[in-house]
Structure 1
Amino acid sequence: MASRLRLTILGAAALAAGGAAPRGPVDADSRAWWALTAALSNDAMQGRDTGSPGHERAARMVAARLAAAGVRPAGENGGFFQRIPLEETAVTAARFSVDGKPLVFLDQFTVVPDGALPAALSARVAYRGYCARGALGDVRGKLVVCHATRKPGLTTAAEREAAVLNAGAAGLVSIADPGFTREPPRWPYAYARSVDIAGTAPPPDPFPRLTLNADALRLLLPGVDAAVLIRKGAAGEPLPALDGGLARLGFATASRRLTSPNVVGVLPGTDPKLADQAIVLSAHLDGYGRGRAVKGDAIYNGTLDDAAYVALLVRLAERRRGRGFARPVIFAAWTGEEKGLLGSRWFVAHPTRPLSKIAGVINLDQLRPIFPLKLLTVHARTDTTLGEDASAVAAARGIAVQDDPEPERGLLRRTDHWPFIQAGVPGVNFVFGYTPGSRSEGIYRGWYRTGYHKPQDDLKQPMDWQAAADFNRFFYALVERVAGQPAAPAWKKGSKLRPAS
């Protein structure tokens, strides 16, 4: 606990002070990159939510800049856009009280959006620890509260839900686990809204699935020391079965259809023999948009997540000035990443260039240039030759590489190279690494508490400008190597990620 506290304090202090890094971009290329980042993530873009006017404006800006740099359209109908049909369900209002004491929507609880959620529901609270099958007792018609503890050997989310449903409960409340310090719960939630590719949404389901802020458990269990339960639940210790007060819930929802575009362009290759070995360079254009205000700010700008790295794709194109690499290079700015990798999933299912003619994907996401770049996590590093390429380019710049040290977070599957990997296309993605217990870890952990999916991920946040420039140069060199060398990216023998033929 003391170690985590030191990291939190250190991270907050370093973020506030900005360390000893330069006060602004360190060279002309970085200044141009940051200027475009600012254009894509200032408040006028309203956070670029999927399907929003702000996202449309940002997509047009990216397409125009790519065209001016000599990149050719590679979307649909001879243009840069590949438009995706979507369906949205939003919870427009939610009530949740226990014994007449209300909880605050998005601050103390949220709910999985579903158009069939009940307008009114009353049920007794049944606290059942980790909600293992066979340990629930009679919870028919009750609102069951479970610890969403992410510890090996305890129930998984799927196991808890199955047990509660099979027991005939009226609803499920999962306590967001404060003990998962790798990526702690983030309150408030921006909104309760889901977006799916049209025709893929699950069937309507009236069963409410809520997430609870651990600090609010006391309201569900009057007269119980909820802090002790939270501490024990976070640690995976044995927990009692308790009955709480009378809960009253009600929800209002709205649904709509919308579309949102991927931006896709191609810089043709110069070697005809490599024309069927295109390399995809990608980042996601969408952000969270507008949501619950934090410190008076309701615009979730998404500057580092991921406007800065869409801007880096454009900067690479502008540096080339229409000059191709040996292989074709596809520039892709995806939509809907924050809603479930929708843009990249749609492209893989409906490619504007056959997947058989795409040799690899280099994706840019999860990058936080807020401390020195000395160590780089390379996703799927040992699975494809792209990992070897990244390692060689990093070594030439004095950057060490590592495999993902936190696989329990599932970062590999949470970004847009994953649909390509599932389809058999070699892919790679990067995260700034750190030595455990270091100042850099403190900064990283602090950002995930105060910046990730928050309005504070904006243009005013502290940056390590040298680290930003170092990664940008690493990326330029990696693309030069992968798109120019004789051998195409390939899977390594024994890779567990490679799909079965």
Structure 2
Amino acid sequence: MTIQRLASYLLCGIGLASGAAVALAAADPPAPRFDPQRLSQIVKTVSGDDFEGRAPATPGEAKTVDYLIAQFKAAGLAPGGDLEGGRRGWTQSVPLVKTEFRGPPQITLQVGTQRDALAQGEQIAVRAALDGSTAVSIQQAPLVFVGYGVSAPERRWDDYKGVDLKGKIAVVLVNDPDFETGSGDFGGKAMTYYGRWTYKFEEAARRGALGVLIVHETAPAAYGWATVKNSNTATMLDIEREQPASVHPKLEGWIQRDVAVDLLRRAGLDFEAQKKLAQTREFQPQLLKDASLSAEYAIDRQVIVSKNVVGRVEGRKRPDETVIYSAHWDHLGVGAPDAKGDRIYNGAVDNGTGLAALVEMGRAFASARRKPERSVVFLAVTAEERGLLGSEFYGAKPLYPLGKTVAVLNMDALSPEGPARNFSTSGSAVSQLQDLLVAQARGFGLAYAPDPHPEAGYFFRSDHFSFAKRGVPALSFASGNDLVNGGLAAGEAASKAYTAERYHQPADEWRADWSFTGMAHDLPLLYRVGETLANSRRWPEWGPSSEFRAVREASRAERR
């Protein structure tokens, strides 16, 4: 989950939805009622201490998976997972590669004759290798500054300019070239996928780089160094890949801004001047004179198997066409103690609320008077907190063809408080699915509040993105902040308190004073959107300028 889920939103109106969305939003019978007490009980259960923070490949996972299967059965869903003896089971097996350091990594930066050891977690945050290595031994690898590390032919943009990265470490800026100025070829302040750190690693790997070091700056990253440290210096997970080195350089890591500034200075370059140049097409990659990096560490590598949990309502007319509701079941497990000595990261809001919504959404569809024309899948994915891995695996190995997947509606960290007058989505992307959601929200008394921080790239940080990048129209619903009781002031105060006191902390625990009336008010809207799509022959499309439109178009023949 991302902090943006409960971050402040600016309430504003929108224009008319597209004609396609209006056509899909025709009058319908009343949506089902969602019981706040049932939602509360599910969140209370899955965030209990006995679930041990729901980390993948732990006893907490086994308990969570068993509980979700029991809930899906009780809700009236059919199993929708892997085929077992010709019949569907309740889960999809997700092989994950788990890597850990064997002893502290030794990292040394040298410029000229000066050698400096970089402290893991303080000056540098190196990940336990995911390229298939069990040991990393790098001796004085040259360093090359490659600006934002973007290669975008459709924008006539290439930061690499043919530089040979074999045997070298690329030093790269986070976000994309428009962040500083707010205008340009990359959507202004709104981050494109080229700005995501995952893209930086993948692109450098495609170019044969030995390693990548991303320069951390809080504003363009949208999070502080503590998040980088916690996310990159402990156990790492990735889906099992046939060629992991094709997307992972041997060394992947981040460095503090002051380390990068000093590195470039000692190599005869000015950091700010180079960053400004990197915002233009004229930028040229810079081999950092007399600069090199050495690294020594051993890796424990093993393959573990986690589970996605999958329920399904089969369509009565076109069962091979699928609408997906998704939510991640995992959280951070047992970790470092807080000031009170609590070590269990319970994950009540993140994402116990999404699980409760998923179970009850399944119940609503399964108990409907008439089954939908298309199939509806309820997908609880693993390892979201480790990089959207459960949804990434589903996207790579789909149980139901992505070309015939109508849309994905993701639910991540919904508000357990009272109702709001508005709602939002995680990030933004132009699509008829978004149009439909906004149009139908009016019938539920909800206004759409666009993401006020598109530069943070929140669209790429929830499970719906694993589907969007493969062309499937997808969005992630976010609770509103203009509360009926207290307005924007109360909503923003609640958001700030959650972020500061409970987000990714042991204090994210179920509370008896949560009313869950906000979720109970919003979920009928999400039901109506899915129901409309499940009983339609329409296929929502991405906007003409969307980076996801071309890949969706490639599968158009499957939908005839």
With the length of structure 2 as denominator, give the TM-score of the two structures.
0.65
1:15-63 alpha-carbon deviations (Å, 9 max, x no partner)? xxxxxxxxxxxx9922221221222223332332333332222111101
Q: Where does structure 2 lack aligned partners over 5 or more consecutive residues?
A: 1-6, 9-32, 150-158, 179-183, 187-193, 280-285, 483-487
Native 8 Å contact 1:316 1:476 kept in 2: yes
Does structure 1 residue 376 correspond to structure 2 residue 424? yes
In the TM superposition, residue 243 of structure 1 has moved relative to its aligned partner by: 9.4
- 1:201 is matched with which residue: 236, 244, 259? 244
SS at the partner of 2:230? coil
SS at the partner of 2:326? strand
Q: Where does structure 1 lack aligned partners over 5 or more consecutive residues?
A: 1-9, 12-26
Aligned to 1:176: 216
Native 8 Å contact 1:279 1:359 kept in 2: yes
Pairing of 1:181-260 with structure 2 (within 5 A): 182-185=222-225, 186=227, 188-190=229-231, 191-202=234-245, 207-214=250-257, 249-260=295-306
Does structure 1 residue 113 correspond to structure 2 residue 128? yes
Give, in whole Å, the separation in 1 of the partners of 2:472 and 2:291: 53
Letter in 2 for 1:63: I
1:158-206 alpha-carbon deviations (Å, 9 max, x no partner)? 779989999x998654332122374445254152413223425226978
Give, in whole Å, the separation in 2 of the partners of 1:478 and 1:370: 23
Give, in whole Å, the separation in 2 of the partners of 1:111 and 1:242: 20
Q: Report the CA distance shift for 1:246/1:299 in structure 2 as closer, same or farther (over 3 A).
A: farther
Native 8 Å contact 1:124 1:244 kept in 2: no
Aligned to 1:68: 74
Give, in whole Å, the separation in 2 of the partners of 1:125 and 1:442: 48
SS at the partner of 1:396? helix
Q: Report the CA distance shift for 1:97/1:450 in structure 2 as closer, same or farther (over 3 A).
A: farther
- 2:35 is matched with which residue: 29, 34, 37? 29
1:329-382 alpha-carbon deviations (Å, 9 max, x no partner)? 221111233344333343344444445654332221254557845232376675
- Cα RMSD (Å): 5.1
Q: Report the CA distance shift for 1:129/1:265 in structure 2 as closer, same or farther (over 3 A).
A: closer
Give, in whole Å, the separation in 2 of the partners of 1:144 and 1:277: 44
Aligned to 1:289: 333
Does structure 1 residue 491 correspond to structure 2 residue 540? yes
Pairing of 1:14-413 with structure 2 (within 5 A): 29-76=35-82, 77=84, 78-92=88-102, 93-96=104-107, 105-106=120-121, 109-114=124-129, 116=133, 148=174, 151-152=177-178, 172-180=212-220, 182-185=222-225, 186=227, 188-190=229-231, 191-202=234-245, 207-214=250-257, 249-269=295-315, 272-293=316-337, 295=339, 296-319=341-364, 322-323=367-368, 325-327=370-372, 328-355=375-402, 358-365=405-412, 367-368=414-415, 372=420, 374-377=422-425, 382-384=430-432, 386-413=433-460
Aligned to 1:20: none
Q: Report the CA distance shift for 1:247/1:417 in structure 2 as closer, same or farther (over 3 A).
A: closer
Q: Which moved more, 1:47-56 or 1:98-107?
A: 98-107
Native 8 Å contact 1:123 1:141 kept in 2: no
Q: Which moved more, 1:80-89 or 1:424-433?
A: 424-433
Q: Report the CA distance shift for 1:481/1:128 in structure 2 as closer, same or farther (over 3 A).
A: closer
Letter in 1 for 2:127: V
In the TM superposition, residue 255 of structure 1 has moved relative to its aligned partner by: 0.5
In the TM superposition, residue 315 of structure 1 has moved relative to its aligned partner by: 2.0
Aligned to 1:14: none
Native 8 Å contact 2:204 2:212 kept in 1: no
Q: Report the CA distance shift for 1:249/1:63 in structure 2 as closer, same or farther (over 3 A).
A: same
Q: Which moved more, 1:177-186 or 1:303-312?
A: 177-186
Give, in whole Å, the separation in 2 of the partners of 1:357 and 1:487: 13
Q: Report the CA distance shift for 1:488/1:57 in structure 2 as closer, same or farther (over 3 A).
A: farther
Q: Which moved more, 1:68-77 or 1:361-370?
A: 361-370
1:96-127 alpha-carbon deviations (Å, 9 max, x no partner)? 47789876544553213315476666759989
Q: Report the CA distance shift for 1:120/1:465 in structure 2 as closer, same or farther (over 3 A).
A: same
With the length of structure 1 as denominator, give the TM-score of the two structures.
0.71
Letter in 2 for 1:250: E
In the TM superposition, residue 311 of structure 1 has moved relative to its aligned partner by: 1.8
Percentage of pairs with the same residue = 25
Letter in 2 for 1:396: G
Q: Report the CA distance shift for 1:268/1:146 in structure 2 as closer, same or farther (over 3 A).
A: closer
In the TM superposition, residue 425 of structure 1 has moved relative to its aligned partner by: 3.9
Give, in whole Å, the separation in 2 of the partners of 1:57 and 1:112: 29
In the TM superposition, residue 466 of structure 1 has moved relative to its aligned partner by: 4.3
SS at the partner of 1:47? helix
Letter in 2 for 1:202: A
SS at the partner of 2:65? helix
Q: Report the CA distance shift for 1:97/1:275 in structure 2 as closer, same or farther (over 3 A).
A: closer
Matched length? 467
Native 8 Å contact 1:277 1:358 kept in 2: yes
Native 8 Å contact 1:113 1:194 kept in 2: no
Does structure 1 residue 429 correspond to structure 2 residue 476? yes
Q: Report the CA distance shift for 1:200/1:244 in structure 2 as closer, same or farther (over 3 A).
A: closer
